[in-house]
A and B are shown apart, each in its own frame.
Chain A
Amino acid sequence: MSTHFDATLDVKGAKCPMPLVKSRKAIGDLPVGHVLQVIATDRGSIADFQGWATTAKNIRLVAQETTAEGGQDLYVHYLERTA
C-alpha cells in the first residue's frame, strides 16, 4: 500500500544534517495537513526523523519505508504538517 503525499523532496546523496535541514524548510512551505515525502540515502535518517518527529512542534511522522534504486538503498519518510 502506498502512502499518500502532496509534495516530494529529493535529498539523495545529502549527508547529515542536510536531509533534515531541507525537510524542515520544505514542510514549512506546505499547508497544514499536507504530507511531504522525503527520499534520502543516509541510513541515519531513519532514527533521526523518528527522533525529530517526537520533539518537533508541528510534524507527524506518517510512515517510513526502505526501498532500493539501482543497487542503492533509499530511505523514504512521510511527514505531515500538523499545525
Chain B
Amino acid sequence: MTDLSLMPAPAATAAPAAVAPLTTAPAAPAVVTAAELYAKLLADAPLLIVDVRNPAEFARMRIEGREALDVLNIPYYAFIEDEDDAAAPIPTDREVVVVCAKEGSSEYVAELLAARGMAVSYLAGGFPAWGNHVDVRDVAAGAWGKVIQIARPARGDLSFVVVSDGAAAVIDPLRHTAVYHDTIAAEGASLAVVLDTHVHADHISGGPALAAATGAPYHVHAYDAIHPIDMLPATIPYTSLDDGQTFPIGAVTVTAHWFPGHTLGQFNFRLDAPDGTSALFTGDGIFLRSFGRPDLGGKGEAWTPLLYESLTERLPAIVHPHTLILPAHFSALDEAGADGVFSAPYAAVAATNDALRHRDLAEFTAYVLGHLPVFPPEYVQIKRVNIGLLEAGEQLADELELGKNICALSA
C-alpha cells in the first residue's frame, strides 16, 4: 500500500495558484458580484455563462436571463480531464462569466480560460450568492411616498415595501428580513403592518419574523392559516383579514380584497394615493403573463371555479385601467423592463396576458388542467413552515427553497 501523501492535512490552504500551470502572466480573471451579474442580465448585453457545476445541480436551478444570454453547462472536472476538449464549445468573442457551486472551481476554470485569451470573469460567492441576491428598486413614487420592489431574482420572488409619511407596510416579505429593516430605516419610517397576500407554498415568509422583531401586526387570512393537506391550524400569531378592510399607511390607503383561487384565503391589496396613483399587490392572484395555479392546496377541482370568478369578476371590479399590477412572482426576466421593475398597468396586462383571454368556465378549467406544471413535493412542507407546524433552520430552509418558484401555470 502506497501513501501518495499529496495533500497536507491543514484545511483551506489549497491555493489554485499552486496548480495552475502558468508560466506566462495572462490577464487575471475579473470577479463579478451577484449584483453586477444581475445588472448585466437586465441590460441584456451579449453574455455567456459557463456553469461549471455538475449536471444534477445545473438541472435543479440555473441562471436565467433575457434574449442575449447563453448558458453552457460544462462541469469543472471536464476541464481537469481534458482542457482543450472542455473549452472547445466556448466562443472566444463573447464576454464569459464562470459560475460554480461555491467559487473555487469557477475561479480555477476562469484562470484556465483567461490563459487562453478569453475575456472572462467569475461569480463571487458562487451559486449561493446568486440564489440569495436581493434587488431593491422603486416602483412608484410621489409626494405621498413610494412603493419599493424587493426581489430575489434567482427564484422569481417579488415583495414590496410601501412608505408614506414615516409609516411603512411590507407585503409578501421573503425569508431573509434584514433588507426590509434596512430599507424602512433608510426611508426614516417605522413598520406599521405586515401583510401576506396568502400563505405561500414556494418560499418561507419573513412576515412572522418581521412582526416579532417590530411589534407590527402580521395579517394573513384565516382560511390560509389551516394547512390544506394536513387540515391543521396555524401555531404562529396572526390576525385575519376582512374583505374590504383598510389599512391607512401615512397618506395612502391599502384595501384588502378577497381573491380566492390560488389559495382559499388569497387576498389582493390595493394601494390608493392622494394623487390618484393606484397599485394592486396581487400576490399569486394574477401575474404579468400568467396567474397563480389553483392546485397547490390539493383542492384544484374546488378552487378552479373560485379562481375563475376572481379573475373574471373580482379583478375588473377592483382595478382602474392605470392601476399598476404588482405580482409576487415572475417567471421570466423579460417580464421586467430594463429598469428591473416587474409591473404593468392593468390595461396592458389585460391586453397581453393570454391567461386572461375570454373563456367560459369549462374552457378555463381545461386551460388550467392543460397548463399545470409539476407539483414540487417540498411545497407541502413549506406551507407547514409558514404556519408554524414545522420548524426550519437555515439549512432546511435553504433546501426547501432550492430552485425557482413554480407558482404560475406553464406556458
B12 and A55 form a contact (CB under 8 A): no
B231 within 8 A of A: no
Chain B neighbourhood of A14, CB < 8 A = 7, 11, 14
A44 within 8 A of B: yes
Indicate with 1 or 0, residue by residue over B309-338, a CB within 8 angstroms of chain A CB atoms. Answer: 000000000000000000000000000000
B9 and A10 form a contact (CB under 8 A): yes
Given contacts A48-B77, A55-B75, contact A16 B100 (CB under 8 A): yes
Interchain pairs with CB closer than 8 A, number: 96
> Size range of the interface on B?
20 to 34
* Distance in Å: Cβ of B330 to nearest Cβ of chain A: 29
Chain A neighbourhood of B55, CB < 8 A = 51
B54 and A48 form a contact (CB under 8 A): yes
Which residues of chain A (22-71) have a CB below 8 Å from chain B? 22, 24-26, 29, 41, 44, 47-48, 50-52, 55-57
A13 and B3 form a contact (CB under 8 A): no
A15 and B14 form a contact (CB under 8 A): yes
Max chain A Cβ within 10 angstroms of own Cβ: one of B80, B101, B108: B80
Instruction: Pick from B2, B11, B16, B105: contact of A6, CB below 8 A.
Output: B2
Instruction: Pick from B11, B19, B77, B100: contact of A51, CB below 8 A.
Output: B77
Chain A neighbourhood of B77, CB < 8 A = 17, 20, 24, 48, 51-52, 55-56
Determine the distance from Cα of A14 to Cα of B94 in the docked complex, in whole angstroms: 32
A25 and B6 form a contact (CB under 8 A): yes
Determine the distance from Cα of A38 to Cα of B16 in the docked complex, in whole angstroms: 19
Determine the distance from Cα of A44 to Cα of B52 in the docked complex, in whole angstroms: 13
Determine the distance from Cα of A14 to Cα of B10 in the docked complex, in whole angstroms: 8
Q: Which A-chain residue is minimally distant from B108 (CB atoms)?
A: A17
Chain A neighbourhood of B101, CB < 8 A = 16, 44
B54 and A11 form a contact (CB under 8 A): no
* Distance in Å: Cβ of A52 to nearest Cβ of chain B: 4
* 8 A-B pairs with the lowest CB-CB distances in the bound complex, closest first: A13-B11, A52-B77, A18-B14, A51-B54, A17-B105, A7-B2, A14-B14, A17-B108
List 18 additional A-B contacts (Cβ < 8 Å) besides A14-B7, A14-B11, A29-B4.
A7-B2, A7-B4, A9-B6, A10-B9, A11-B6, A16-B102, A16-B104, A17-B77, A17-B80, A17-B105, A18-B16, A20-B80, A24-B77, A24-B81, A26-B4, A47-B54, A47-B56, A50-B54
Q: Which residues of B contact A (CB under 8 A)?
A: 1-7, 9-14, 16, 19, 54-57, 75-78, 80-82, 100-102, 104-105, 108
Q: Which residues of A contact B (CB under 8 A)?
A: 5-18, 20-22, 24-26, 29, 41, 44, 47-48, 50-52, 55-57
